[in-house]
Structure 1
C-alpha cells in the first residue's frame, strides 16, 4: 500500500502490472474499498498498469473529519494521476466509483481514454433511498455496523456471496465521521444533463438483480452516453457484479479495455 497527500488527506492506493502498460484506475463503491477489484485486476494486470485506490472515508484512507463532494473525490483521482505522473488513463468505476469517474471525465476530458461504469447512475436516488441512508447514518453513530452488517452484505453483495471479510471490515470502521461519506452520497448533484460531454468510449455493466440501483438506471445511462459501446446485463447479479460475477464480467471488460483503453 502506498499513499499520496491531497488537501491534508493521505489517500491510499496500490498498483500492479507493467509500469509501461496502459493505465486503468479502479474506483470502488460506497462501503467498499479497492480490494473489491482484485478479481478484475488479476485478469488485466498482464497487459494493463492497474491502480486501485481507497476513497475518502473507506479502506486504508480511512475516515475524514470534513465534508466533501464527489467532485472533490474526482479531483482526488486526478491528483493521484498527477502524483504518479500519468498523462492518460482509463477508468473503471462501480456505483459511487462511477459517480466519481464520470465527474473526473468531465473535469479533465482529455486525460481519459475509456470508461467502464458498473452498477451506477447519473441522476439522483428516490427520497426513500435517501431516507434509508439517513437512517443508516443515525444507526452507525449509535452502534457502528453491529446491527446492520448482515443486511448491508445482502444488499450490496447478494445473499449467496461469502461476505464475512467485508462484514469484518465494516465492523472495524469507526462510528465517528461516517456522516461525511453518507452526506456526499445523498447530496450529490444530478449530472444527467452533462453526459453529452462524456464522449469517451464507454461500457455499462449492471446486475439484473441489483437492489441498490435499479437496472433501468444503467439502461438510461448507456442510452445517454454518446459513445457507449453497449450495456451488459449480468444475469443473477446484484450490486457488485464485477466482484460476485467476475467470471462473466472479466472477459467483456478485458475486451473493451483492449479495444479502447490503450
Structure 2
C-alpha cells in the first residue's frame, strides 16, 4: 500500500484528529471493525511498540502490513474514501506532514473547508501556502526541539556520569580518610600500650628498688648491732680485767697491812 493510502487510513483511525492514534481512537476503530474487546489492548500494544500510549504515523506504517492480517482495514479504507473532503485531499499532498501542526490542525481544516466552499481558489491557494509555511516552521521547531532534547539527554547523561565519578571520588576520599584515621588510632593505641608497658616496668623497678633498699637497710642495722655488741663485749672484758686487777691489788695491800702488824 502506498503512502497516501496509509495516510488516509491513519487519518480515519485518528478519530479526534490529534495527529496520532490514541487508545480511545483505536478502541472506536476496533468497534467499527467488529474486533473483540478482549483483543483491543493487545493489538494496540503491537502498534505502540515504544509504549508511549499512542501510535504515530511511523509506527502505523511500520506495523500495518503485519497487523492488517488481523485487522481488516479494507472496510475502514472504503469508509474513509467515501468520507474524504477537500481538506483530506490537501493533506494527501502534504505526505502526512500536516500532523506536525498538532492542535491547530482542526482549526485549519475548518477554515480550509469554509474557503473551499466559497470556490475562491486564489484565496485557497494563499491559505495552502500559509499552511505549508506553518508546516515548515513547525518541522524546523520540531527538529530544534529534538536537538534540544538530544542535547539535554546528552547533558543529563554527562551530568549523571560526572555525579557518579564524584560519588566514586568521594567514596575513595572517605576510604582514604578512614584508613588514615584507623592507622592513626592504631599508632595511638600502640603508643599507649608502649607507655603503659614502660610505666609498669618503671613501677616494677621501683618496687624492686624499695625491696632491695629495705633489705639493705635491715642488713646494715644488723651489722651495726653486731658491731655495737662486740664493742660492749670488749668494754665488759676490759671492766672485768680492771676489776680483777683492782681485786688483786687490794688483796696485795691487805696482805702487806697484816704483815706490818
TM-score range relative to shorter protein: under 0.3
TM-score (norm 1): 0.24
Considering fraction of residues, name the structure with more helix: 2
Q: Which has the larger radius of gyration?
A: 2
TM-score (norm 2): 0.24
